[in-house]
Structure 1
Amino acid sequence: MNNKELKKRRMWTFFIDATEELIKTEGFQQVTIRKVADKAGYNSATIYNYFGELSHLLFFASLKFLKPYLETVSREMEKTDDPVEKYLIAWECFSEYSFKIPDIFQTVFLMDLGDHPKTLLASYYELYPSDLMAIPEELQPALMERNIADRGRFTIGPLVKAGLLSEIQAEEVNELTNLVWQGMFTTLLNNRNHYTPEEAQKRTMKYIREIVEHKVGLSKTEPARNA
């Protein structure tokens, strides 16, 4: 690695760490380019030499807050070999943490980052490889998918391989469960109801379980519809 690349990585780390600290101390909504620059000891113009916009910096810093979620989902999914339970555990963990820290999950999974979100993800794990190494190898491909639908397809894939769902049924489950989560998440994020994060998760998982159990039960009585 040449000196230019080393400097770039060092500067990225300075600004990402400063953003992370501001989120912790002042709150997500209070982060600005000027505050990040002051915290890191540089001027605002310097940040734009390394990050295209504030959303990219927030994205990188937000990924660092996902560590507890990633550790939990990895640990819990390893407790069972049942593909249905693994799928439900994945949703349990995702909904729990997304409702606890909605600003972080909004930034990582839903915020408009421009045309190259996968490139940003790859850059993050290149900068912080230990975050990726701590995740079981079977789950690592999902971490490189920011798109919720694509991540869902990866998670539900084992149900298709086990013959519990046809490909079409799996796609339907993926779409329905994502819609349930997105609806509740958006409602909670925008303060459109009075649910606590725990209540929101409980209701979300109730609907997701019903969808999965219905489709898995249906697959046992319907002919395959993959064609």
Structure 2
Amino acid sequence: MEKKEIKKRRMWNFFIDATEELIREEGMQKVTIRKVADRAGYNSATIYSYFNELSHLLFFASLRLYKPYLATVTSAMDNLEDPLEKYYVAWEYFCEYSFKQPEVFKAIFLMDLGEHPQALLQHYYEMYPADLITVPQDLQAILMDRNLFNRGRYSVIPLVKAGLLKSEAAEELNELTNLVWLGMFTNFLNNRGYYSIEEAHRQTMKYVKEVTENALKK
């Protein structure tokens, strides 16, 4: 690895580490470029040599904070064979962690990152390939796609292969379940006093299962 690339990775780590620390301590809404620069021991101008905007730093730091969810769901699904059970488990953990860490999941999946969000995701895993070591090959394809609807398609493919759903019904199921989560998640973000974390998780899974059961009956 060339010295220039080594320096780039080192600087990346400084700034992402600082951003992650600030998110944990103060919350994502209070993170600023100046605070990140101060925490890392550099000036703000140096950050812009490596990151175009604050949202990119928040995105990369959120991917770090996303790792416990990833480890949990990977481990849980690894021991399952039934495709429907795996599908529900995937949704259970996605709901659990997304409502526990709403700002993190918002940054990863919904935040405006500019023109090339997919490239940022791929670049992160190029910089931190160790994050993929424990992830099965079939799940890595999901991680490399930021679009929720595209990721959902990977989850319903086993249901189609098992003969539980036809392709058209699986596509409809994917769209409906993602819309359920998006609606509940947006409502949770905007009206946090309405649902507790547990209630938001429980209600979302209730609707996901109802939609799935209706699709299986067709």
User: Which bin holds the TM-score, normalised by the shorter protein?
Assistant: over 0.9
Aligned counterpart, 1:40: 40
Normalising by structure 1, report the TM-score.
0.93
Tell me what 1:182 maps to. 182
CA distance in 2, matches of 1:134, 1:23: 25
CA distance in 2: counterparts of 1:206 and 1:160, whole angstroms? 22
Separation of aligned partners in 2, 1:6 and 1:170: 45
Distance 1:114 1:202, change over 3 A: same
What do the CA deviations read for 1:62-118 (whole angstroms, capped 9, x no partner)? Answer: 000111100111111123211111111111110110000100000000111112122
Q: Which amino acid aligns with 1:167?
A: S
Name the stretch that deviates more: 56-65 or 190-199: 190-199
**1:1-227 equivalences in 2 (<5 Å):** 1-191=1-191, 194-218=194-218
Letter of the structure 2 residue corresponding to residue 48 of structure 1: Y
Q: Which runs of 5+ in 2 are unaligned?
A: none
User: Partners of 1:39 and 1:134 in 2: how far apart?
Assistant: 31
C-alpha separation between the residues in 2 aligned to 1:140 and 1:206?
Answer: 28
Higher mean alpha-carbon deviation, 131-140 vs 51-60, is at: 131-140
- Determine if contact 1:99/1:197 at 8 Å carries over to the other structure: yes
CA distance in 1, matches of 2:96, 2:150: 20
Distance 1:78 1:50 in 2: 37
> Which residue is 1:224 aligned to?
none
Cα distance in 2 for partners of 1:149, 1:94 equals: 14
Amino acid in the other structure paired with 1:148: L
How does the TM-score come out when normalised to structure 2? 0.97
Q: Secondary structure at the match of 1:51?
A: coil
**Bigger Cα displacement from structure 2, 113-122 vs 82-91:** 113-122
Instruction: Name the count of aligned residue pairs.
Output: 218
Q: Where in structure 1 are there 5+ consecutive unaligned residues?
A: 219-227
Once the two structures are overlaid, the 10-residue window that deviates more, 28-37 or 161-170, is 161-170
Describe the superposition over 1:115-172 as per-residue Cα deviations: whole angstroms up to 9, x where unpaired. Answer: 2122111111122222111212221110001000000001111111111111110110
Q: 1:60·1:124 contact (CA, 8 Å) conserved in 2?
A: yes
Instruction: Provide closer, same or farther for how the CA distance between residues 182 and 64 of structure 1 changes in structure 2, counting only shifts above 3 A.
Output: same
Partner deviation per Cα, 1:153-200 (whole Å, 9 max, x = no partner): 011111111111111101100010001000000000011652111111
2:186, 2:112 → 1: CA distance? 15
Q: Using the aligned pairs only, state the percent identity.
A: 64
**1:207 and 1:191 mapped to 2: Cα distance?**
19
**Structure 1 runs (4+) greater than 6 angstroms displaced:** none
Give the distance between the partners of 1:207 and 1:172, measured in 2 at CA: 14
Alignment partners' CA distance in 1, 2:131 and 2:64:
8
> For 2:86 and 2:193, how far apart are their aligned partners in 1?
30
Shift in Å, 1:43 = 0.3
Local SS of the residue matching 1:52 = coil
